[in-house]
Amino acid sequence: MRILLLLIALLSGPALSQGIDSNHAQNNFMLHCQGCHKADGSGLPGSVPSMKNFVSKFLSVPEGREFLIRVPGSANSSLSDKDLAELLNWMLMELSTEGLPDDFTLYTEVEVRQERARVLVDVAAFRATLVAQMKLP
Ligand code: HEC
């Protein structure tokens, strides 16, 4: 059984993590995001929502994928478009594998550049409409 799990990890790992330097992404998360989101993505109850096995659910609702780029913590960070794309990919695969759609495609630098420029005005209201559309257990 263990060997089977190891094989699965070896086979799926490289395909999923294509183009992502996990150490680089994790360092950026520590420097730019962890202060609010915590190292494990659990956030601060009452003020910063938990990312753990939750943030991937945004990918299944319309405009949710873009929201993860446009949310102020992402969009207003000093990270380059390329580094932010890498970080978001790492975040989803590291902190929120549960709920990650099977057809998830990696964020790209170009996508981040385009969506980041679309400023979100009322973040809380926008987020609430997305969460309301999620199929929560
Ligand atoms: C100053 C605190 C703070 C920092 C720093 C921060 N965030 Fe956030 N983040 C929040 C809060 C609060 C929310 C909830 C939405 C909102 O009000 O902006 C959030 C929401 C998010 C979400 C959407 C998840 C959800 O459930 O709403 C993502 C994705 C995200 N942040 C990514 C990042 C990334 C990536 C970084 C680092 C580059 C970062 N954040 C830095 C406070 C922060």
- The ligand 1 site (C-beta within 6 Å) comprises 32-33, 35-37, 47-49, 55, 68, 71-74, 77, 79, 87, 123-124, 127
Model confidence at 27, in pLDDT bands (50, 70, 90)? very high
Ligand 1 center to 52 CA (angstroms): 13
Task: Answer yes or no: is pLDDT of 101 > 80.
Answer: yes
Do 40 and 95 form a contact (C-beta atoms < 8 A)? yes
Model confidence at 19, in pLDDT bands (50, 70, 90)? confident
Minimum CA distance residue for ligand 1 atom 11: 48
Give pLDDT tens digits for 28-46. Answer: 999 999 999 999 999 999 9
Ligand 1 center to 64 CA (angstroms): 14
pLDDT of 135: 80
Task: Answer yes or no: is pLDDT of 98 > 70.
Answer: yes
Rounded-to-10 torsion of CA 86, 89, 131, 111: 50
Task: Answer yes or no: is pLDDT of 14 > 70.
Answer: no
